[in-house]
Amino acid sequence: MIVCGNAGANLPEIPYILQASRELSQYESYLQGIAGQRPEDVIKRARTTIIKYSKLLDGDDNRSRENKDKKSGLPDFSHKDLRQALHLIDVTLAATKSPAYAHMREWLYYRKARVAAVFAPDTMPDIYTAMSAEFPASKLLDDVLAEQLFAQGIVKPNLNAARATFNKLVSTYPNGNAVDNAYSWMAIILRCNGQLQEADKINREIIRRFGMTRHAAYARARMADPKTCSAQAYSDD
């Protein structure tokens, strides 16, 4: 076989691709027969497989975004085939509809949001809708909206959509875990869209509401340096 140009650059990946293909095929076959399996065993295998193929470098279910690609400002992943990761989550959701899997399903929706935020940002509203319909009292719903805000403001910028998501998050979940992160992201999004007065209004609100946190320190730094615009500037979330 003749290899032209850089065509051979991915040759070292072939063993991984073949192994992954076998493993994923076996996993999907396993899901078809889970009726006779103990739910705890199914959950263990599902979590292990999905974490492996959607592994976030910043830690499993760690909501911080401290590890970002230095050029894009986006979080990195230890596996790049995020389409496959989303497929795995979807087939697992389809196969585990009994109440015994409720806790895992809640986790699956959030995992899906983490991956889709950077790979399929347009799907984020659908993920939130599906999760909120099944788990209306979930404490992760505000985190999913924060991922949606990040997707709409940083990954595939749409200022009006980002504003709407931010307003929805802070009004629906005023005491949620992700509110401080949402304020910080919104301040950065506004700033990067040239809306400096509105951004500084958000920064002042951060200082007022979260005065003893790193978010307030970053807000002060942003206000002192209005020319810098970066997804990484004065934020580690």
Buried b (16+ CB within 10 A) or exposed e, 21-37: eeebeebeeebeebeee
Judged against a pLDDT cut of 80, whether residue 215 lies above it is answered with: yes
Q: What is the average per-residue pLDDT within 177-200?
A: 94
Tens of pLDDT, residues 50-59: 998 887 644 4
Three-state DSSP class for residue 77:
strand
- Distance, CA of 44 to CA of 64 (rounded, Å): 24
pTM: 0.82
Query: Distance between CA 84 and CA 27 in Å, rounded?
Result: 12
pLDDT of 121-150, one tens digit each? 999 999 999 999 999 999 999 999 999 999
pLDDT, tens only, 2-51: 334 444 445 566 666 677 788 889 999 999 999 989 999 999 999 999 99
Please give the average per-residue pLDDT across 168-177, as a whole number. 96
- Does residue 96 carry a pLDDT above 70? yes
Cβ 165 vs Cβ 149: under 8 Å? yes
CB atoms within 10 A of CB 46: 26
Rounded to whole angstroms, the Cα distance separating 118 from 147 reads 9
Question: At 189, which amino acid appears?
Answer: I
Report the mean per-residue pLDDT for the chain.
84
DSSP H helices, 54-195, are 82-95, 102-119, 124-134, 141-150, 159-172, 179-192
Q: What is the model's pLDDT at position 53?
A: 85
Let me know: does 65 contact 75? Beta carbons within 8 Å.
yes
Looking at residues 60-82, what average pLDDT do you find?
47
